[in-house]
Structure 1
Amino acid sequence: MRAARNIIGLCLALAMSGCALAVNGAPPQTYDLVAPEVKPVRGQPLPVQLVVRTPTAVRALNTERILVRPAHERISYYPDAAWSDRLPRLIRARLTEALEDSGHFNAVVTEDDRVTSAYSLQIAIRAFEMSVNGKPPEGHVALSAKIVDERAGKVVASRRFETRVRAKSDSVSEGVAAITTAFHDVSRELMRWMTNGSRRSRLGAGS
Structure 2
Amino acid sequence: MRRQSRCIIMASLASLLGACSILPKSDPLTVYQLPAAHEVTAAAFSGLSGRSLSVFTPYAGSFLDTDRIAVVPSGNRLSVYEGSRWSDPAPVVFRNRLVRDLRKTADLKAVGNERESLLADYQLRGDLVDFQVEYRNEQPTALIAFEASLVNGQSGRVIASRHFSVAEPVDGRQVPEVVQAFGRAAGRINHDIIQWVYRVAGK
TM-score (normalizing by structure 1): 0.79
Gap runs ≥5 in structure 2? 1-11
Counterpart of 2:27 in structure 1 is 26
Over 3 Å counting, the alpha-carbon distance change for 1:60 and 1:39 in structure 2 is same
Task: Tell me if the contact between 2:48 and 2:202 (Cα under 8 Å) persists in the aligned partners.
Answer: no
The residue that corresponds to 1:70 in the other structure is 73
Report the Cα offset of residue 115 of structure 1.
2.8
SS in 1 for 2:190: helix
Counterpart position of 2:171? 168
Structure 1 residues 129 and 162: CA distance shift in structure 2, 3 A: same
Q: Separation in 2 of the partners of 1:79 and 1:29? A: 9
Q: 1:48 aligns with which of 29, 48, 51?
A: 51
Distance 1:121 1:43, change over 3 A: closer
Q: How does 1:43-192 map to 2 (within 5 A)?
A: 45-192=48-195
Q: 1:122, 1:145 within 8 Å by CA — same for their partners in 2?
A: yes
In percent, how many aligned pairs have the same letter? 27
Name the CA shift for 1:35/1:104 in 2 (closer, same or farther; >3 Å).
farther
Contact 2:34 / 2:182 at 8 angstroms: preserved in 1? no
| 8 A Cα contact 1:35 1:95, kept in partner | no
**What root-mean-square deviation, in Å, do the aligned CA atoms of Structure 1 and Structure 2 show?**
2.4
Q: What is the aligned residue count?
A: 183
Q: How much has 1:145 moved relative to structure 2?
A: 0.9
Contact 2:58 2:128 in 1 (8 A): yes
Three-state SS of the structure 2 residue aligned to 1:127 is strand
8 Å Cα contact 1:165-1:181 kept in structure 2 = yes
Question: Which runs of 5 or more residues in structure 1 are unaligned?
Answer: 9-22, 203-207
The separation in 2 between residues aligned to 1:129 and 1:120, in whole angstroms, is 25
Contact 1:71/1:134 (8 A) holds in 2: no
Larger Rg: 2
Tell me the CA shift for residue 120 of structure 1. 0.1
Deviations 1:138-178 (A, max 9, x none): 11111111101132222111111111111122221221121
